[in-house]
Amino acid sequence: MLRSIYIFAALAVSGAATTTSVWAEAPQLKTPSPAIYLSDNLGEPQDLGWCIDTLGRGYAENLQAHSCKPQGGDVQFAYSPETNLISSVPYAGKCMSLRAAPTPTAFSLEDCDLTQDAQKFVYTSTNGQISPAADVNKCVAVGEEIRQAGPFSSRDLDLVDCNDVAQERSAWTIRDE
């Protein structure tokens, strides 16, 4: 009996040591750089991944998560670790901003302003989380529900407690090359 316990324990330890990936499936990203996208494909039907996006077609004040479009456009955002701003690529001078109240969405696209704490975000490369600089216990995460958005899909872009959200909904990859 004791030998069986040791064998079981050895198998359990070796199994834990061989786990290399947290992600169920990485997206097949086709969006041109720069892009900020969810590290896990998380059910995106075309395996394109989830990018930060303006709600609707073209410029919009509200932000969501959307299928990373192969042609880029309004799903292209860049992060600057020097300023902590997340800026829109197609809409120069516009940055992601945390709303005081999430109505209708938690994040908006506003004129970039280095003096606004609501526009400053911290990216932690070890776990992929993006947090407001003023509250690193909160994280940017995608919502659970997937909606049809023309030929693509969308989800809410939420601000959640980092300890209460699954990592696959809150771990982002920043591609800037």
Query: Would you mind telling me the total number of residues written for the chain in this entry?
Result: 177
Q: How far apart are CA 88 and CA 73, in angstroms?
A: 9
Q: Work out whether strand 129-132 and strand 63-67 pair parallel, antiparallel, or are unpaired.
A: unpaired
Give per-residue pLDDT as tens, 40-60: 999 999 999 999 999 877 788
pLDDT for 5: 30
Mean pLDDT on 81-94: 98
Task: Classify burial at 151, counting beta carbons within 10 Å of its beta carbon; exposed 0-12, middle 13-18, buried 19 or more.
Answer: exposed
Give yes or no for a contact between 111 and 29, defined as CB atoms under 8 angstroms apart: no
> Hey, what CATH class is 22-175 in?
mainly beta
pLDDT for 102: 66
From residue 163, give the alpha-carbon distance in Å to each of 18, 37, 124, 136, 156.
25, 20, 15, 11, 19
In the predicted structure, residue 116 carries a pLDDT above the cut 80: yes
